[in-house]
Chain A
Amino acid sequence: MGNRYAYFQGCAARQSCPELNKSTLLVAKRLGWELVTLECGACTGARDLIEAQPEMAMVLNARTLALAEAQGLETVMTVCSTCTITLRQVNKMLKENTSALERSNQELSRIGLRYNATVEVRHFLWVLIADYGLDRLKEQVKRPLSDLSVAPYYGCHILRPSDVLGFDDPDNPRSLHNLITALGGSPADFSSQADCCGFHMMTIDENRAARHAGGLLVDAQQQGADVMVTACPLCHISMDSWQPKSERVMKRKIGMPVIHVAQLVGLALGFSPRELGLEQHIIRPVEIIANYSR
């Protein structure tokens, strides 16, 4: 039981961040986790559905949770912070509010499903730290990241609001710091580590969003970071895929590589940059690729 997880990929890892999916599967396999991919799950609806169509968001996500429960799984493991907050918000409501659970089950009964509110939703990073343990992870490290200064970027939806997320302290988050240290790297503290990347208003005002993201990147760079690590593919999209836009808007070169948590772990476990899809990033982490390909 202990190491079986329902794996909820989310849309980004299925589409514009395929390297996240790839590296998550590699790392999980190496660590002996059994992942049951929720292939027939559905998008959480992100912030859009839960705000504008809350009943739809509730029933849609109740379905995903029920699919995991029906397979006897206790944890839905996410790799996207926005999926995490959205699934957890709905799950919290279903656990606390019997009429919400009833309404959801009424709809789910039409397709022969029922949710008993027994499942927990947890991010890959939390599973790694709380279930697997950083001490055990240290023993698995084949190639310590001793030459790497890594900026731990938390962003928003893995921290706030803390009564929905609750794993780490939003004012002084430590999970990524501790992970980086366990992998032999050094965390590069930077003041905007829990600030917002602007992803969720990118289509409203691209320039504003590009400034939100660019500001964080420059901050990390000024603290001497070689690379930034993020727990969320949406943050990754705004800071890697759209970094050229931030550079244009801020009228300066940035060139800061941003990688996913699973890739960082994968590097230390001995996977090659190619296996982890590092060359797929828009800002290629060229030095890491050169140093870790040997």
Chain B
Amino acid sequence: MQSEILTVVVERYDPERDKAPRLVTYRVPRQEGMVVADVLLYLYEHEVPDLGFLWECRTRRCGTCAMRVNGHPVLTCSEPVREDMRISPLEGLPVVRDLIVDRQELQERLAPWAGETLDGSGKDARILLEPGEIAHYRALSECIDCFICDSVCPALAENAKGGPQFAGPRRLIRLEAQVQRRAEPLPWLMYAAQSNPSLCTRCFACTEECPRELRPAEAIGSLTKRLYDRHELDPHKTAHITSFVRSILRGAWLDEFRLLVDIYGIVGVAKFIPQALRMLRHRKLPKPHFGKTAQASDIQTILQDLDNRS
């Protein structure tokens, strides 16, 4: 049985008054086909005229209505209501008021490549795409800037602690879309390189939560490949990939010892000596592989023609 009245807890926050968000419980009459944004609208019209929340298109197009319902990020304009909802702002972004978050700071990072003529020629450098590529490009370019992927990204959250900054999945998926349709993608790829895509932890939270199923994590994988192919990927990640390929071709399994040498160099690995001694004491130290494994020549046979890095 569905109840006639919905109980809704809203996370409210007024920076002038509150030190921390307050949880306020409201009761709202349920209507046929109601979505979460309807609940907020009802509250605004009947009970809470100062409730802060945003929505525009109501058709999953503008991305402004993204919030969390019971901790899960959704577009509230299309999310059906359920019993016992807790509505809160997106996590990971500063709260302006109630359910409104400040997207400005993250938005501004888009600025350097907001223009269309990055190749410096002043001409539009877009290219014609093959039919198969069009579908892929359109999918990527359907990002509605809802910020859900950024809000769940652990690598983006780490930026606050300083060090090299990660641009986040939303920006990177847009760069991938640009790169796909440019005759000369290099300037866009350079922005991708400066965005530190290797700081992405490959956790797939963005892919899981994107309401338009655009798969930003896979777009970061694709940018990584493009940068790797053009020798523009950062040296550690490049060495990491190359070492995997080499290990697999030589001995089928990853040689963990060589991986470290490939990345840090013989001198560089010295810093791991205390860790290595600890691992040795616990009988966990990976041994370098010597010689080929039985299956190595099979693996070389099937993979030899497939290395498509120039």
Contact = CB atoms under 8 A, between A and B. Distances in A.
Contact of B236 (A107, A204, A241): A204
Given A42-B299, A156-B202, A50 B221 contact: yes
Contact of B282 (A51, A107, A198, A282): A282
Q: Which of A16, A47, A204 has the most CB of B within 10 A?
A: A204
Interface stretch (A24-32, A53-61, A175-183, A218-226): A53-61
B201 to A, nearest CB: 5
Contact of A49 (B205, B248, B286, B287): B248
Contacts of B279: 16, 241, 282
Interface of A: 11, 14-18, 40-43, 45-56, 59-60, 63, 107-108, 110-111, 156-157, 159-162, 170-171, 195-196, 198-201, 203-205, 207-208, 211-212, 241-242, 244-245, 279-282
B256 interface: yes
Contacts of B303: 56, 59-60, 107
B99 interface: no
Interface of B: 71-72, 154-155, 158, 161, 163-164, 198-205, 207-208, 215, 217, 221-222, 224-225, 228-229, 234, 236-237, 240-241, 244-245, 247-248, 252-254, 256, 259, 263, 275, 278-279, 282-287, 293-295, 298-299, 301-303, 305-309
Contact of A160 (B207, B254, B301, B306): B207
Contacts of A107: 302-303, 305-306
A198 B285 CA distance: 21
Nearest to B285: A16
A211 B287 CA distance: 28
Q: Which of A199, A244, A282 has the most CB of B within 10 A?
A: A282
Given A52-B241, A107-B302, 13 more contacts: A16-B286, A54-B225, A59-B303, A60-B302, A107-B306, A156-B205, A196-B205, A201-B199, A204-B236, A241-B279, A241-B284, A280-B283, A282-B284
A50 B228 CA distance: 13
B294 A40 contact: yes
B278 A52 contact: no
Contacts of A242: 275
Nearest to A245: B275
Nearest to B283: A280
B306 A43 contact: no
B306 A59 contact: yes
Mostly, the B contact residues are helix
Contacts of A59: 302-303, 306
A201 B60 CA distance: 33
B67 to A, nearest CB: 15
B307 A53 contact: yes
Nearest to A82: B202
B154 A212 contact: yes
Contacts of A54: 225
B253 A42 contact: yes
A160 B153 CA distance: 13
A280 B278 CA distance: 10
Nearest to A56: B306
Contacts of A46: 244, 254
Contacts of A63: 298-299, 302
Contact of A56 (B217, B252, B295, B307): B307
B232 to A, nearest CB: 12
A212 B71 CA distance: 20
B158 A212 contact: yes
B254 A205 contact: no
Contacts of B202: 47, 156, 200-201
Given A11-B253, A211-B161, A111 B247 contact: no
B282 A280 contact: yes
A40 B306 contact: no
A160 B302 contact: no
A208 B252 contact: no
Contacts of A211: 158, 161
Nearest to A204: B198
